[in-house]
Every structure is written in C-alpha cells, then in structure tokens.
Amino acid sequence: MKKALLTLTALTLLASAAQARTWDEIKKSGTVRIATEGAFPPFNLLKGNQLTGFEVDLANALAKGMGLKVQWVTQPFDNLLIGLNQDRYDFVIASHGITPERARAVDFSNPHYCTGGSIVSRVGGPKTAADLKGKTVAVQVGTTYLQNVQKVPGVGSVKTFPKDTDAQAALLAGRTDAWVGDKFTGLDLVKAQKGKLVQGDLLFNERIGMAVKKGNSSLLRELNAALTKAQQDGTYAKISNQYFGQDIRCR
Amino acid sequence: MTAQRTAPRQPPGGVNLLVWLVGAAAAFLLLFFVITLILRRIPDPIGPRADLFVQGARMTLQLTLVSGLIGLVIGILVGIARTSAVWLVRAPAGLFVWLVRGTPLLVQILFVYNALPPLLQSVGIRLELNEFWSAVIALALNVGAYNAEVIRAGILAIPRGQGEAARSLGLSGGQTMNTIILPQALRIVVPPLVNNLVALLKDSSLASSIALLELTLAGSRVSSETFLPIPVLTTVACVYLALTTVMTLFTDQLEKRVKIATR
C-alpha cells in the first residue's frame, strides 16, 4: 500500500518535466502555437476544416500585432489545459472562465471578455435556479458550468457530455430538462432553434481569460500587452461587433 | 462438493452453477468494498473523490453484465441461424454479423443514442432510450455478433459423424441440435466467450461518449477538474484491471466445472 502511494506520487511529479517555450524562443521561431476546442460557437468553431469564431479571429489579430504566424491546434476541452502543461502548444484561448482551481494549474492573461452561465430550456421548461429543483441538466465535462450547476440546491441529475454541442443536442432531443452554458452561446442557440428554446436566468458571472503554462511570465506579459493594444486601437471592438453587435470586453 | 472421489465427474448441475453464481456475486461485493477502502486512503485527487470512482466502476460492471447476458442470447440464436441449412434463416444472420463487425463500436453507440430514437419516431414508434439502455443495446448487439461467430465455430467443431449418427437413430434436426451438438459445442466455446466478455468490460468505456457516468467518465471528470491526468488514469486502469481479474478468476472456475473428460 505504502509503495503504491509512493509510486503514484513519483508519477505525479514526473508530470511537470519539460520546459515551456519563452517569448524569445517563440519570437525566434516566428510561429506561435495556439490551442482551442473548435466546438464552442460563436467563440471557436470548426466549419469543416476552417476554424472560425470570435476567439479565433481575436487570437489571429493578437498574433499579427505581435508579428507572429499562427499554428492552430484543436483538442477536446477537458484536455486543453493538461496539454498546455505538457508543452504541446504555447497558449490556450477557449473561453476558460478564470477560477481559483484553474489558476493553480495554469497562468491566466487579463480577461479577453466577460460573460455568464445561463439556463436554456425548451419552451415551458425551467428558467431560474429555483426551477432546476429535481430537474436533469446537461453540461459539458470539465467546465465551470458543471461546478456551478452542482452548487444549485436540490438540482436533480447533472449529465456531462464531451462537447457543448452534444449537451445542447441532449436538451433538444428531450433527454434533459435544461442546458447550462455560456450566455452568448445560449443566445445563438435560441436564435438558431427558432421558437423551440428559451433562455432563462444567469446562474453566475465569469471572466474569461487565455491560459499559458504556469510560470511562463514572458509570454503572458506579451499577450497582455497585445490584448491591451487591440482593445485601445479599435481592433477588439471591430471583431466583437462583427459577432455580437456589441463590445463584450470586461468593464 | 460432497461427491465420492472415485465417481466420474458429474456434468454441472443446477446447484453447482448456483453456488458458482453466488460466489461470483459475493466476490464482486467484496471487491467493491476493498476498492472503496483503498481509494479512500490515496491522497488528493483520488481520496476525496473515491465514491465517484466506485460509482463509475459499479456502472461499468452493471453495463457489462446486462449487455453480456443479452449478447449471449443473441450470440446463441444468431450462431445457430448461421449454421442453418435454410438460406432464409442464414442470410439475415449473416447480414447482422457483417454489419456489426464491420462498423466501429463507438459509431454504433453514438448511432443508437443519437440516431435511433428520431429514426423510430419517423416510423411512429415513440421510444425513450436513456443513456444506460442506449449503451446496453449497442454493446449487446456488438458482443452478440462476435459471440455468434464463436458459437458457429463451436458447432462446426463437432464431428459431422455425430450429427449423422443422431439423425440415423431417428432424432429430429432440433433434437440433434439440443441434445447432441450444443451440449458439446458450448463446452468448447467457453474460453472464447469469456474472451469476448472481458473485451466487453473494457469496451464499455466507450459509453463515456454519451454521458453515461461509468469508470472512464468518472476519471475524466476528476482529471479535468484537477488537471492531474497521471494519478487519475493510473487509478482508472488499476480499477479496470481489478474488475477483469476477479471476472476471469470466476470464469476459469466455470471452465473447470463444465469440463468433461475428453475422449
């Protein structure tokens, strides 16, 4: 038993062996490797082989501002931060809400937008946190929505899906009473499903940031500088308006 | 048990099999008790979430037993149909095996979960398939197809002369199958059927893709919450290993019990 524990601890320590690429190394190579999920409309979405979305356009603009070419990597959401700590890419932009647990594992940039988790249900379904009593809710695995839904008193069962789009499909198929996810994604979903779904209350608010490997401060500094510059020179507002008809930066 | 040592070994009786079943059930209960105890003593991230892992392991075992039983019935029926002399019986069985063996299990699980209900609805059947039964249907059909081939091989392994002798003694085709061929064939096929059952237990991990909280999904929930894939995946693998080990201990016993002195 003791031996097994020792082995497990040793294995855990092995997890953080390699070194992240610093800003100088990235600058020298001329290409930044960015990871996202590609299944989270309208923020990052794969249309065929084409990555699009607000965050994709924003990251491309930031990289351009830093004078770098971009190499995109797509990964399942719950693998993104794990892969970041294994240096498979330089930073992640995939609508990660900034939470204390995540901040222990990675370093976050300044928030690149602010949002909240909203309830979406079929017409006549639950609309407030109190309505969720005894109901089944679909969420995506590894998200802040899962943690926040589990905090709702009396909530029935929570089903976790690998992709957010799978969780939405479960709601549409009548397998769950509600779906909890990003409020902008919810807006898009309600719009796309003309009249079938309604958006309810916000369960919580969150700040969304980009993640770099723990301790990669040189890259973090450059990212924050590029973001501030884009928010000042109108680049950010232009991209945001194109997707949402409003500026969604944190105020 | 209490039989005289000199007597030839009896073929397995009902009591004998019942003892075996009760033993297997007790062993799994004990295993879950032990797993819970061990996991609770492992430090963070495993210890505080030990119950989630055990809940997942229980679901994995349930999934395996239910779909394994249904799959065994499917396998026997389809396997016998595959050896039939009548083309009309043989063809659909062949088609079933061809379809199921030629497509990936993950696609089958997703198909039953996402595509089957709307398809059935369009022909007027309203069927509410929850995650568990979707996974059971897909897994049972899948393992059923593989079992069918095993059963067919077992039937073909019985020398032709036996069937011919039985027919010439005046037994009907059905009687020959039930009393001469199958009892011998089923003994031959126990090891490969066990193989399929162990594979099924591991394949049940694919049900994590339809939000069924089994062992693999329990693990990925923990690892995406704590960002510690190494201890989580190691734990998950060890629990799978414990499950398959206990399972094979008992299936080995079953093999011994159905064995009859060969010629």
For residue B42, give the nearest of A8, A81, A173 by CB distance: A8
B interface with A, Cβ–Cβ < 8 A, is 38, 41-43, 114, 117-118, 130-131, 208-211, 213, 217, 220-221, 223-231, 234
Q: Are A44 and A51 in contact (CB under 8 A)?
A: yes
The nearest alpha carbon in chain B to A145 belongs to B225
Contact state of B224 with A1 under an 8 Å Cβ cutoff: no
Distance (Å, rounded) from C-alpha B185 to C-alpha B193?
12
- H or E element in which residue B15 lies: helix B14-41
Question: How confident is residue A2, by pLDDT bands cut at 50, 70 and 90?
Answer: low
Whether A101 and B38 lie within 8 Å, measured CB to CB: no
Closest chain A residue to B118 measured between Cα atoms? Answer: A173
Tell me whether residues B229 and A166 touch, CB distance under 8 A: no
pLDDT on residue B3:
44
Q: Is B74 within 8 Å of B144 (Cβ atoms)?
A: yes
Which residue of chain B comes nearest to A79, CA vs CA?
Answer: B224
Q: Rounded CA gap, B254 and B263, in Å?
A: 20
Token pair listed for B35: 């797993």
* CATH architecture of the region B51-262: Orthogonal Bundle (1.10)
Q: What is the pLDDT of residue B4?
A: 45
d(CA A138, CA A199): 14
**Out of A82, A101, A173, whose CB is closest to B117?**
A173
Q: Is the pLDDT of residue A93 over 50?
A: yes
Residue from the list B210, B211, B234 with its beta carbon closest to the beta carbon of A8 = B234
Chain A interface mutation, best of B224, B230, B232, B234, highest count of A Cβ atoms under 10 Å: B224
At B65, list the tokens.
Answer: 């037993």
- B69-123 pLDDT, tens digit each: 999 999 999 999 999 989 999 999 999 999 999 999 999 999 999 899 889 888 8
Q: CB–CB of A80/A92 below 8 Å?
A: yes
How far apart, in whole angstroms, are the C-alpha atoms of residue B162 and residue B180?
Answer: 7
Taking CB atoms and an 8 Å limit, are A173 and B114 in contact across chains? yes
- pLDDT for res B11: 55
Considering only CB atoms, which chain B residues are within 8 Å of A162? 208-209
In chain A, what residues touch B213 (CB-CB under 8 Å)?
160
Break chain B into its structural domains and give their ranges: 51-262
Nearest CA in chain B to A147: B225
Lowest mean per-residue pLDDT among A12-16, A53-57, B96-100: A12-16
Cβ contacts of A81 on chain B, cutoff 8 Å: 227
Q: Under a CB-based contact definition with an 8 Å cutoff, are residues A56 and A7 in contact? A: no
pLDDT tens for residues B26-44?
Answer: 999 999 999 999 999 998 8
Q: How do residues B150-176 score in pLDDT, each as one tens digit? A: 999 999 999 999 999 999 999 998 899
Q: Which of A55, A108, A104 shows the shortest CA–CA distance to A216?
A: A108
Q: Is A242 exposed, middle or buried (CB count within 10 Å of its CB: 0-12, 13-18, 19+)?
A: exposed
Q: A41 vs chain B: nearest CA distance in angstroms? A: 20
Calpha distance B70→B76 (Å, rounded): 10
Q: What is the pLDDT of residue A4?
A: 61
pLDDT at residue B10, as a whole number: 53
Report chain B residues whose CB lies below 8 A from the CB of A151: none
CB atoms B225 and A142 under 8 Å? yes
**Residue among B221, B231, B234 minimizing CB distance to A160:** B221
Query: Percent of chain B having pLDDT more than 70?
Result: 94
Whole-number percent of chain B with pLDDT over 90: 70
pLDDT of A234 > 90? The answer is yes
Q: Give the whole-angstrom CA distance, residue A179 versus residue A181.
A: 7
Q: Averaged over B217-233, what is the pLDDT? A: 88
Give the whole-angstrom CA distance, residue A8 versus residue B235.
Answer: 9
Let me know how many helices (H) and strands (E) chain B has, helices first. 12, 0
For residue B223, what pLDDT is reported? Answer: 86
Q: Is residue B140 pLDDT above 70, yes or no? A: yes
**Residue A78 to residue B220, Cβ atoms within 8 A:** yes
Could you tell me the pLDDT band of residue B61, with boundaries at 50, 70 and 90? very high
pLDDT over 50 at A16, yes or no: no
Spatial separation of the C-alpha atoms in residues A145 and A181, rounded to whole Å: 6
